[in-house]
Structure 1
C-alpha cells in the first residue's frame, strides 16, 4: 500500500516530531511516499512547480491519503481537495488546541473520515483500527 502523508510544512514546524512519529507508525501498513514531512529540513533545492508536480504525482500514485490537519495549511487543503477529486480514501487527524478545532469544511466533508485525538498514542490507535479493519 502506498500512503501519502500530508501535514503543514512551512507553518507546522512545531509538529515535525509528531509527523515523524505518525509516519513511523504508518510505515507498518505500507510505503509512506512523503517521509520528508517528518523532517525539520525544508526542501529549498526544488522550485515551487517541482514540489507541486512531485507531490501531485505522489497523490495520484497513493492508495490512501492521511492528513494531519491541526495546523491550517493551504497546501494540505489543496492536496485533500485533489485527493477527493481522484476519489482517494482520506483520513484527517486533528487536535483541538485552546478550544480551537479544525475547519468545518474538513470536518463537514462526507468524502473524508475525520478523527480528533489528544495524544500521539490516540492517533496511532485510530490508524491501527483503520488499517486492521477494527473500526
Structure 2
C-alpha cells in the first residue's frame, strides 16, 4: 500500500521532530512505503512552484491513502485532503491532543468539515498515534479496489467500446456494474457472506 503523508507547512516547520516521528511510524507499519512533500522537494531542484505541485500531484495520484497531520490546518493541507477525496482515496486526519486519555476525547465537528465516508478524523498523542495509524491502515486495506487483467473476446470488447461511448462510462465501470448486479441476484453468494 502506498501512503502519502501530509501536513501544513507551518506544522512541518514548527514540529519537524514530530513530523519525522509520525512518518517513521507510518514507514514501520507499512514496510517502508511512505511519501511526503519533503521527499518530493528533495528529489530535485524545485525552485519552480508549478513543477513542485505537479510532482506532488503525481505522487498523490499514485498513493492509495493519505494520512494528514491536521493540528495546524492550512489551505494547502485542505487542498491535499480534497484532492485525495476527489481521487477516491481514504484519508486519515490526525489532530494532536495534549490529553493522555484519548479514548474519552472526541473530534469536535466543525461546520466547514466535509462529511465524507472517505475521511476519518482522529485525536492522537504520542502514546496513541501508532495504534491509530495501524487501525486506519488495516481498515483501508479492506476498502481498496483490486486490479486484475481480464482477457475478453473481440465481440465483448466491441460491446464495451459501444456501451462506453453511448453511456459515457469507462469499460471497467460497465464490467463492475454487471458483476455487482450478478452478486445481488446470486442467492448462494448472499448466504455465504
Task: Tell me the TM-score normalized by structure 2.
Answer: 0.57
Match of 1:34 in 2: 36
Match of 1:74 in 2: 75
Structure 2 CA distance, aligned partners of 1:102 and 1:132?
A: 24
Structure 1 CA distance, aligned partners of 2:70 and 2:46?
A: 26
Q: Secondary structure at the match of 1:81?
A: helix
Structure 2 CA distance, aligned partners of 1:103 and 1:52?
A: 30
Contact 1:6 1:68 in 2 (8 A): yes
Structure 2 CA distance, aligned partners of 1:72 and 1:128?
A: 23
Q: Which ranges of 4 or more aligned residues in structure 1 deviate by more than 2 Å?
A: 43-46, 105-111, 129-133
Q: Secondary structure at the match of 2:21?
A: helix
The number of aligned residues is 125
Q: Which runs of 5+ in 2 are unaligned?
A: 99-106, 140-193
Task: Tell me the TM-score normalized by structure 1.
Answer: 0.78
Displacement of 1:23 after TM fit? 0.5
Displacement of 1:122 after TM fit? 1.2
Q: 1:124 aligns with which of 125, 130, 134?
A: 130
Higher helix share: 2
Displacement of 1:32 after TM fit? 0.9
Structure 1 CA distance, aligned partners of 2:52 and 2:127?
A: 31
Q: Deviations over 1:49-98 (max 9, x none)?
A: 1121111111100011000000011111001101110000111100257x
Greater RCO, 1 or 2 (C-alpha within 8 Å, sep 6+)? 1
What CA RMSD, in Å, does the superposition of the two structures yield over aligned residues? Answer: 2.7
Structure 1 CA distance, aligned partners of 2:109 and 2:83?
A: 17
Please say which structure displays the higher CA radius of gyration.
Answer: 2
